Structure 1
Amino acid sequence: MTHSDSSETDASAAESIADATARDPDGNPTLRDPPKLDAPPLVGNTLQFARDPFGFYDRLAARDEAVRYEVARQEFCTVFEPAYVQRILVEDDEKFVKAEMFQEAAAGFAEQGLLLTEGEVWRDQRVRIQPAFTPEKIRSYTDAMVRYAEQSGDRLADGEVVNVEDAMSELTLKILAKSLFDVDVAGRREVVREAAAALNARGDAGGASAFLPDWVPTPKNRRFERAMADFEAMVDDLIAERRAGGADGDDSPDDLLSILLTAEGPDGTTMDDAVVRDQMVTFLFAGHETTALALTYAWHLLGRNPDALERLRAELDAELGDRRATMADLPALDYTERVVEEALRLFPPAYVLFREPTEDVQLGPYRVREGTAMTIPIFEIHRDERFYDAPDEFRPERWTEAFEADLPEYAYLPFGGGPRHCIGMRFAMTELQLVLATLVREVVFDPTYDGDPGPLDGGDDAP
């Protein structure tokens, strides 16, 4: 169940909210600003947010369906109503761009890549890249998904204490690099991991550097610059190796890297190497980090819920026996898919979306002014008791057809939504299910800590 893979709208919910808007004698809507959170003068809500970002969102959610506040002298508005999310991401998506504060936070990271470009540049890139994610292409990637998962399981020993996030990151990076770029990242993984860690550290909302320009020579900014220079140099080498191997020839691999190097735009030109590099950086980072996080959380949840683990294994034994899982098996692995969906509900790796209206817009009875930094906290919407019974509990069995039919559109959006939904969504869902189906029959991760792991890395929507 993936509401977010389509830009089709469920207009009834949005229209019902719009109809409730007060109107003047001429029938025109009388809009008001969303309520604003109280804040001390000068500093606004900056300190409240920095001390506990996730607790701050809890406070906003308890206030209203849309709430304004001020952080670092920037006007923010956070929305919790799925119909508003739908309007932002789908119905009025052309009136919104990635928020300027998000663009500033990502400065220096693949600025010409699919994640950060806008308008016609983004649309041209999306059209060129889409052929790498067709169902037929994804099917061709599944052998690598299963084979690397098997190898990962073979390296784990009984009683071994492992960092699951690190193990899943290594696995998903291998799968991604082989599937999309036909490259071996052995010996290069630490370059990618350090760039990811440096970017996440610089954007940590709990640190002061998150509110400083990227040109300020803070330790986190300097670390990020060094890490990105190494990352970009590594990708440049990969591109040069492909060029030297005849990327333009008939025998070149039919993968994303070849598509990036050869696909022509409307003007008949191909991407220059700097743009190709930014696309590869984007996918190598976002494409493996988010999936690794989703797997990490899934293992945590299964380790804490032995009944769900037993039911999952029973399904796999019944459907697969001793043979390897394939893409053709996925339709029959119903509970496996439910485990993935529930893990993505409780712990969406890209847990907040950032947008900014380019003009004044209406959301229900509210007017949101041009330039407001808007946030869509997916992790809050996914745990809203209006839509989910016992929202903090891991219940894969909740994902029945009846439940999904009653769930409002955009009350579940682990891959974003609208035209800019994650281009790798089907790739990720296939990978998550096949990796779980492969490893869970041989391995169980028993958490060595109490409680939930809390938020790991993650952030805005993937490309």
Structure 2
Amino acid sequence: MARRTANGREADGADAELPSETPPGPDGLPVLGNVRDLVADPRGFYEEMSEYGDVVSYSVPRMDFCTVLHPELVERVLVTDNDAFEKFGFEDLGGDFMSEGLLLAEGEQWQRQRLAAQEAFTPERIRTYGEAMGRYAEEMVDGWTDGDVVELDRAFSRLTLRILSRSLFDLELAADAEVVTEMAAAINDRGDLDGVSTFVPMWVPTPRNRRFRRAASTFEEFVDDLVAERRGSTDAYDDLLASLMAAREDGGDLSEAELRDSMATFLFAGHETTSLALTYLVLLVAQHDDVRDCLDEEYATVLGGRRPAVEDLPDLEYTGRVVDETLRLYPPAYILFRTAREDVELGGYRIPAGTNVTLPQFFVHTDERWYDDPGTFDPDRWTDGFEDSLPEYAYFPFGGGPRHCIGMRFAMQELKTVVPTVLQRVEFELVSDPDPELDMAITLRPSDPVRATVRER
């Protein structure tokens, strides 16, 4: 069988020998491994691991991990040797939910689902979603009164869920939105690195596990009802749900579970990450008057007070830099997981088959080897020259390789549409801590609601 050499190429015979040494790492406790240090201070734990090099071993109960901290090795895992790795199995951390959907599917199953969904994410189709993105953002602002104190994360969650459900599923969720947001909260609580209970198997009836099971059951019933309602309709649809249903019913081989789990995946992942990006962007801009002034100048020049059309987005260059810098400092999907299918070499070490591999955007994005003054919010760093000099996988908020986020273009268009629409009409005065505590859950979320006072412009 061919093996990977140190430069990622396949070789046979003597040249195929893998290193015998596995990656170093911090000592752990019996059974618990490194879980106490990890949950006590995740960022501090990664700082400690980085002292061992760019490939570092650690463990949590019942699982062995290694983390990869160098862009070239991240690229190896995601691109060059992607076939040697599979998606991490979250079965013990709630992975039975959405396990048949696009996010967690593998191999031929994933390829079928990606093919069924990709028509909804072509550049031409995404452009048609622009009008709803801007209009719904305006309607959100219209619902605010000067002096209102709003919870930004919740407001943007409602907005992005509304945009996504209308664009991809031709749905107006209204009161049903609570089912989706409760499921998102339960998923994040289940995966939150704030205690050892995160690593307790799903069959143990802890409060978190019980909440997760209840929310998952309600959510799956909700999705099943939406599919049944669409099946009972005589109207013609041309959206993501129609594409998925066609793959299920028109001689295709998409199972009922795959249809349900794919829809659930898009409802959860498609709104949660973008709402967090909007929250963090407003949080940062509210603290930097110079950035706000540059945005105002751009909007006056390009938009003249109107909300942006899709045709305007390429001219909103500074807005794009603010988005990029926000995703650098606060990547909502802050860490990627893979599992080695076979023994593989990384960074001169042998990674045994079955080892779980973490690719931490939140850490790589703030590595001083790639970024000057990495903790500072500085949109001006994103010049063409800087981007050309940056190692490709020193910045990967949407992942990379064949399994890069299918919704990347959708999310970037949404961000560059919503941000100017909102900021031209209101300013935000922070009420909450400008440096909020963060929960490292399934997504990187604020521990407490981010609150700000709305001021009309």
Answer whether TM exceeds 0.5 for this pair. Answer: yes
CA contact (8 A) 1:353 1:460 kept: no
Q: State the partner residue of 2:116.
A: 128
Q: State the partner residue of 1:252.
A: 236
Q: State the partner residue of 1:211.
A: 199
The answer to whether structure 1 residue 110 and structure 2 residue 94 are counterparts is: no
Deviation at 1:55, TM superposition (A): 2.0
Q: For 1:449 and 1:163, locate their aligned partners in 2 and report how far apart those are by CA, in whole Å.
A: 9
Q: State the partner residue of 1:390.
A: 373
Q: State the partner residue of 2:160.
A: 172
Cα separation, partners in 2 of 1:253 and 1:26, compared to 1, 3 Å: closer
Q: What is the CA deviation profile of residues 112-142 of structure 1, one whole-angstrom value per residue up to 9, with x for unaligned ones?
A: 1001110110011101110000011101111
| SS of equivalent to 2:374 | coil
Q: State the partner residue of 2:127.
A: 139
Q: For 2:226 and 2:390, locate their aligned partners in 1 and report how far apart those are by CA, in whole Å.
A: 44
TM-score where L is the length of structure 1: 0.90
Deviation at 1:236, TM superposition (A): 1.3
Deviation at 1:28, TM superposition (A): 6.5
Q: State the partner residue of 1:34.
A: 23
Q: Of the candidates 151, 161, 179, which is equivalent to residue 139 of structure 2? A: 151
Q: State the partner residue of 2:362.
A: 379
Q: For 1:110 and 1:285, locate their aligned partners in 2 and report how far apart those are by CA, in whole Å.
A: 10
Cα separation, partners in 2 of 1:218 and 1:243, compared to 1, 3 Å: same
Q: State the partner residue of 2:34.
A: 45
Q: State the partner residue of 2:283.
A: 300
The answer to whether structure 1 residue 75 and structure 2 residue 59 are counterparts is: no
Deviation at 1:159, TM superposition (A): 1.8
Q: State the partner residue of 1:363.
A: 346
Q: State the partner residue of 1:412.
A: 395
Q: Of the candidates 188, 195, 215, which is equivalent to residue 200 of structure 1? A: 188
CA contact (8 A) 2:136 2:159 kept: yes
Cα separation, partners in 2 of 1:197 and 1:28, compared to 1, 3 Å: closer
Amino acid at match of 1:46: V
Cα separation, partners in 2 of 1:62 and 1:26, compared to 1, 3 Å: closer
Amino acid at match of 2:87: K
Deviation at 1:98, TM superposition (A): 1.6
Cα separation, partners in 2 of 1:315 and 1:456, compared to 1, 3 Å: farther
Q: For 2:268 and 2:158, locate their aligned partners in 1 and report how far apart those are by CA, in whole Å.
A: 12
CA contact (8 A) 2:277 2:330 kept: yes
Q: Of the candidates 56, 64, 72, which is equivalent to residue 45 of structure 2? A: 56
Q: Of the candidates 91, 108, 112, which is equivalent to residue 80 of structure 2? A: 91
CA contact (8 A) 2:192 2:439 kept: no
CA contact (8 A) 2:133 2:417 kept: yes
Amino acid at match of 1:124: R
CA contact (8 A) 1:133 1:424 kept: yes
Deviation at 1:408, TM superposition (A): 0.3
CA contact (8 A) 1:149 1:435 kept: yes
Q: What is the CA deviation profile of residues 204-237 of structure 1, one whole-angstrom value per residue up to 9, with x for unaligned ones?
A: 1222321111111111111111111111111111
Cα separation, partners in 2 of 1:239 and 1:41, compared to 1, 3 Å: closer
| SS of equivalent to 2:424 | coil
Q: What is the CA deviation profile of residues 332-360 of structure 1, one whole-angstrom value per residue up to 9, with x for unaligned ones?
A: 11001001000000000000111110111
Q: For 1:430 and 1:26, locate their aligned partners in 2 and report how far apart those are by CA, in whole Å.
A: 47
> When you count strand as a share of all residues, which structure comes out higher?
2
Cα separation, partners in 2 of 1:26 and 1:420, compared to 1, 3 Å: closer
Cα separation, partners in 2 of 1:192 and 1:28, compared to 1, 3 Å: closer
Q: For 2:393 and 2:129, locate their aligned partners in 1 and report how far apart those are by CA, in whole Å.
A: 29
| SS of equivalent to 1:97 | strand
User: For structure 2, which runs of at least 5 residues remain unmatched after alignment?
Assistant: 9-13, 445-457
Deviation at 1:26, TM superposition (A): 8.1
Cα separation, partners in 2 of 1:56 and 1:374, compared to 1, 3 Å: same
Q: What is the CA deviation profile of residues 350-385 of structure 1, one whole-angstrom value per residue up to 9, with x for unaligned ones?
A: 001111101111112111111111111110000001
Q: Which runs of 4+ in 1 moved over 6 A?
A: 25-29
Q: For 1:271 and 1:73, locate their aligned partners in 2 and report how far apart those are by CA, in whole Å.
A: 33
Cα separation, partners in 2 of 1:273 and 1:418, compared to 1, 3 Å: same
CA contact (8 A) 1:60 1:67 kept: yes
| SS of equivalent to 2:223 | helix
Q: Of the candidates 309, 318, 335, which is equivalent to residue 318 of structure 2? A: 335
Stretch moving more, 255-264 or 30-39: 30-39
User: For structure 1, which runs of at least 5 residues remain unmatched after alignment?
Assistant: 1-13, 20-24
Deviation at 1:460, TM superposition (A): 6.8
CA contact (8 A) 1:53 1:206 kept: no
Deviation at 1:69, TM superposition (A): 1.4
Q: For 1:171 and 1:42, locate their aligned partners in 2 and report how far apart those are by CA, in whole Å.
A: 44
CA contact (8 A) 2:169 2:241 kept: yes
Q: What is the CA deviation profile of residues 131-170 of structure 1, one whole-angstrom value per residue up to 9, with x for unaligned ones?
A: 0000111011111100000001111222211110000000
Q: Percent same amino acid among aligned pairs?
A: 51
CA contact (8 A) 2:18 2:344 kept: no
Stretch moving more, 202-211 or 167-176: 202-211
Q: For 1:272 and 1:444, locate their aligned partners in 2 and report how far apart those are by CA, in whole Å.
A: 47
Deviation at 1:29, TM superposition (A): 6.8
Q: State the partner residue of 2:454.
A: none
| SS of equivalent to 1:39 | coil
CA contact (8 A) 2:25 2:49 kept: no
Amino acid at match of 2:59: E
Q: Of the candidates 150, 159, 171, which is equivalent to residue 183 of structure 1? A: 171
Deviation at 1:269, TM superposition (A): 1.6
Number of aligned residue pairs: give it: 436
CA contact (8 A) 2:328 2:362 kept: yes
Q: State the partner residue of 1:9.
A: none
TM-score where L is the length of structure 2: 0.91
